[in-house]
């Protein structure tokens, strides 16, 4: 049995990586297979995710595009598709569009005849063909010269005014917390989530130290009678779980695991949604264990994005 304190990590180091590298890193959290990451592993991983339609993983890659249209009717056609999961700002015939790989894939799948959708996905396909190889239009992309698409670099996004920065700047945070806290976080919309899977992770394996890891509860002082009750309960649970694994699968054995189990959760959202999370989860009425990680995270964001969180 191992006991650790809750923590978080802002994954800003991924912001400068390619979409494939970013998606692989986040996706492997689910199976705790980060040891399989190398210089050649990202493209096969994301190609497999796209081929099998693992959309939650593909949400971990977000791109911002600038779209110029000569024909205003083409913009109307885009909005008639009711594009889901896109953040869009319009300035006359110019659009600023931010969306995940999943969002662009679904637009192409369901609205391949929309000229703006065609142009945006054609632009992305040139850079990242592995995301679209299984859903390409039968006759290919139209290459409409009246629509120009440009990728907006991250440093350009960071220079946007606060109202646009809120919508278009996405950032990922990895939490190491107990399962009770993740049950609350995943209620938020719109966010993207990937979580360590107890269904596939076998904690009796060597890479987990052949033990179950628990999050230290903030409610009980160490060495107090209450803490000793909690500690004994976790030891007993671990013993039952490991015993069940001798004859059962991880997805069966996990049914005895408690909320105190350590889990890793990646939350990916734009600054507007992070602001909403902070508003709800930092108040005195919020769950104390949630405030334990949210308050320092909120302070971190206020230093990174003072124009938004001042």
Active-site residue flag, 39:
no
What number of helices (H) and strands (E) belong to the chain? 14, 10
Give yes or no for a contact between 175 and 6, defined as CB atoms under 8 angstroms apart: yes
**Distance of alpha carbon 287 from alpha carbon 272, whole angstroms:** 22
Pure H helices in 28-170:
42-51, 55-58, 72-80, 101-110, 115-127, 154-158, 162-168
**Distance of alpha carbon 146 from alpha carbon 142, whole angstroms:** 11
User: Of how many residues is the chain composed?
Assistant: 310
Options 28, 179, 231, 281, the catalytic residue = 281
* b/e map 169-190, b = 16+ CB within 10 Å: bbbbbbbbbbbbbbeebeebee
Q: What is the CA radius of gyration of the chain?
A: 22
CA 18 to chain centre: 15
Nearest to 171 by CA among 12, 296, 309, 280: 12
Give yes or no for a contact between 60 and 23, defined as CB atoms under 8 angstroms apart: yes
Strand ranges (DSSP E) for 189-278?
192-195, 213-215, 262-270
Retrieve residue 78's tokens: 């885009």
Kind plus residue range of the DSSP H or E element containing 100:
strand 94-100
Q: How many CB atoms lie within 10 A of CB 112?
A: 17
Known catalytic residues are 281
């Amino acid at each position: 049995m191992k006991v650790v304190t809750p923590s978080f990590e802002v994954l800003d180091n991924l912001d400068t990586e390619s979409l494939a590298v970013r998606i692989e890193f986040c996706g492997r959290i689910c199976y705790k297979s980060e040891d399989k990451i190398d210089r050649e592993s990202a493209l096969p991983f994301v190609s497999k995710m796209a081929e099998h339609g693992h959309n939650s993983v593909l949400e971990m890659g977000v791109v911002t595009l600038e779209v110029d249209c000569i024909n205003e009717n083409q913009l109307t056609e885009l909005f008639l598709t009711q594009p889901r999961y896109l953040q869009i700002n319009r300035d006359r015939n110019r659009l600023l569009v931010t969306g995940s790989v999943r969002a662009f894939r679904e637009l192409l799948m369901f609205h391949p005849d929309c000229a703006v959708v065609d142009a945006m996905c054609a632009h992305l396909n040139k850079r990242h063909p592995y995301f679209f190889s299984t859903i390409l239009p039968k006759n290919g992309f139209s290459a409409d010269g009246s629509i120009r698409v440009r990728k907006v670099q991250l440093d350009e996004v960071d220079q946007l005014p606060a109202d646009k920065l809120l919508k278009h700047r996405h950032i990922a945070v990895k939490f190491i917390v107990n399962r009770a806290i993740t049950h609350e976080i995943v209620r938020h919309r719109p966010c993207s989530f990937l979580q360590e899977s107890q269904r596939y992770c076998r904690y009796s394996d060597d890479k987990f130290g052949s033990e179950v890891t628990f999050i230290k509860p903030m409610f009980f002082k160490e060495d107090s009678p209450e803490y000793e009750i909690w500690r004994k309960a976790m030891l007993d649970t671990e013993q039952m779980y490991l015993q069940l694994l001798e004859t059962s699968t991880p997805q069966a054995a996990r049914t005895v695991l408690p909320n105190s189990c350590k889990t890793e959760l990646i939350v990916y959202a734009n600054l507007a949604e992070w602001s909403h999370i902070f508003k709800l989860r930092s108040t005195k009425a919020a769950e104390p264990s949630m405030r334990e990680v949210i308050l320092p995270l909120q302070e971190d964001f206020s230093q990174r994005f003072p124009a938004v969180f001042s």
